[in-house]
């Protein structure tokens, strides 16, 4: 059996009763976090543009645009919510996928769930399947695909979104196989667009593509039975290191990737490769009472992959700042904290901050581990004007699977994000509902509360 057929069979035959309870728990954490950042992102310019087009061009008002009063067609809702969810670059990451796993899958699943009148249990099940498919494929294609310049959130997210939508729409194995194959032709996203509105569009496009593929397959649209593994298929074209991808994908759910490679929840709304930098600078600043005026230079050692990710050494917009080691280090030193307001465009014009950015350098450090789960580690060295050198060596990063955020910190992040679109009372009610999502009898009761 080929890779495309294996994926389809895994999705169609999966049963709720067979899911590990810990996997369900982790899925609920990821869904809560993703809905929070989507609500916050719904107020961003990139999200507003998509919402405006969706309201004007969308179909029957069956699905919800989170954080707004707009209801529209399913594929438009998936596009809008996916874009909003990634607009702040505050959504979770996964090392196997080398991208953002939850927002593309969840955005497609929420729309498919509303169309199918599904319940919370069905949403959780579909989310886990989508997460499993995209991250398992990530283990097959990386680092080749990422090194070629593809953005995995778009290229792999489309397939995860198709898997989730196919399950919620109750497609049979053959229809599911077609849905995956259709999505494979829609998989896209270029890292050259990092630091622009198009990066969050990758997540929205992946969600839209996945749902559209499942809807088309349900109505009889066909595609190649070997779209994933064929000689001109997804793996060959976008990059694969596996000699036998079908065998690798035959281990889907054994173990579940949400437990083995895990979810890295972001404490800061910027590229995950900046988080180790921010953590180290904040720690040194607090521990040694450092003022920006004390700093002679900041040296940041990174993994060889990182210079092709943190591509904006001299950013001029907040979006570019999210992909700048120089800006993130300087902002942490100046402000003593990093949050959503850090990346407002006007912050980039601060003369003191820009002067400090000029003292920050980034270079490849060959001592940093090269395996994927550690490629975001950094070595940060502060040289002070009085001659002192302070260093934080490569280490685990807050929010990563080995150092997860506490339940209390996750809730605080959710409420802070949600309150950018909802009243506090409604945000708290949403948090309670998400905490017991498997008991939600109708997803429309959840999406109703996620509207202002």
With respect to CATH, is domain 3-267+415-449 assigned 1.10.4100.10? Answer: yes
pTM over the 0.85 mark: yes
pLDDT in tens, 125-157: 999 999 999 999 998 998 889 889 999 999 999
* Residue 249 pLDDT > 90: no
End-to-end CA distance of the chain: 48
Tell me the C-alpha distance between 332 and 329, whole Å: 5
Fold agreement between 3-267+415-449 and 272-392 = no
Nearest CA-CA partner of 319 in 376, 270, 358, 272: 270
pLDDT for residue 182: 98
**Which residues make Cβ contacts (< 8 Å) with residue 46, sequence separation at least 6?**
83, 84, 87, 197, 200, 201
Mind listing the pLDDT tens digit for each residue in 369-393? 877 778 899 999 999 999 999 999 9
User: Considering the chain, what is the average pLDDT of its residues?
Assistant: 95
**CA–CA distance, 91 with 33 (Å, rounded to integer):** 7
The CATH superfamily label for domain 272-392 reads 2-methylcitrate dehydratase PrpD (3.30.1330.120)
Output the CA–CA distances (angstroms, integers) from residue 346 to 43, 90, 318, in the order listed.
17, 20, 8
Q: Give the residue extent of every domain in the chain.
A: 3-267+415-449, 272-392
* pLDDT value of position 251: 84
Contact call for residues 27 and 124 (beta carbons, < 8 A) = yes
Q: Using CA atoms, how far apart are residues 335 and 79, in angstroms rounded to an integer?
A: 35
Tens digits of per-residue pLDDT, 156-170?
A: 999 999 999 999 999
Confidence class of residue 109 from pLDDT cuts 50, 70 and 90?
very high
């Amino acid at each position: 059996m080929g890779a495309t057929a294996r994926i389809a069979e895994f999705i169609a035959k999966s049963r709720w009763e067979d899911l590990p309870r810990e996997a369900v728990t982790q899925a609920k954490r990821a869904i809560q976090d993703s809905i929070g950042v989507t609500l916050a992102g719904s107020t961003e310019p990139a999200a507003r543009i998509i919402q405006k087009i969706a309201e004007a061009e969308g179909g029957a008002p069956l699905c919800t645009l989170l954080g707004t009063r707009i209801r529209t067609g399913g594929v438009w809702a998936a596009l809008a919510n996916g874009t909003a969810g990634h607009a702040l670059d505050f959504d979770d990451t996964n090392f196997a996928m080398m991208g953002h796993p939850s927002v593309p899958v969840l955005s497609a699943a929420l729309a498919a769930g509303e169309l199918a009148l599904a319940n919370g249990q069905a949403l959780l099940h579909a989310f886990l399947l989508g997460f499993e498919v995209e991250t398992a494929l990530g283990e097959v294609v990386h680092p080749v695909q990422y090194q070629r310049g593809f953005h995995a959130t778009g290229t792999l997210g489309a397939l995860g979104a198709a898997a989730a939508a196919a399950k919620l729409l109750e497609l049979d194995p053959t229809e599911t196989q077609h849905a995956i194959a259709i999505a494979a032709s829609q998989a896209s996203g270029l890292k050259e667009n990092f630091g622009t509105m198009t990066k969050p569009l990758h997540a929205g496009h992946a969600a839209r593509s996945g749902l559209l593929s499942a809807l088309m397959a349900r109505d009889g649209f066909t595609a190649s039975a070997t779209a994933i593994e064929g000689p001109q298929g997804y793996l060959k074209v976008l990059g694969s290191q596996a000699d036998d991808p079908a065998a690798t994908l035959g281990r889907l759910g054994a173990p579940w990737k949400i437990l083995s490679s895990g979810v890295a929840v972001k404490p800061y709304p910027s590229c995950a490769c900046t988080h180790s930098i921010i953590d180290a600078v904040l720690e040194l600043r607090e521990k040694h009472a450092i003022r920006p005026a004390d700093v002679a230079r900041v040296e940041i050692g990174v993994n060889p992959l990182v210079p092709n990710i943190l591509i904006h050494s001299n950013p001029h917009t907040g979006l570019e700042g999210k992909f700048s080691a120089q800006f993130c280090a300087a902002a942490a030193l100046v402000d003593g904290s990093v949050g959503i307001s850090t990346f407002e465009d006007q912050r980039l014009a601060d003369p003191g901050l820009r002067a400090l950015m000029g003292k920050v350098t980034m270079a490849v450090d060959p001592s940093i581990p090269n395996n994927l789960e550690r490629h975001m580690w950094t070595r940060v060295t502060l040289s002070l004007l009085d001659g002192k050198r302070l260093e934080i060596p490569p280490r685990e990063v807050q929010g990563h699977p080995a150092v997860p955020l506490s339940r209390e910190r996750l809730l605080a992040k959710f409420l802070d994000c949600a309150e950018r679109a909802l009243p506090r009372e409604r945000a708290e009610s949403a948090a309670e509902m998400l905490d017991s999502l498997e008991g939600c009898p109708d997803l429309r009761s959840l999406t109703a509360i996620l509207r202002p």
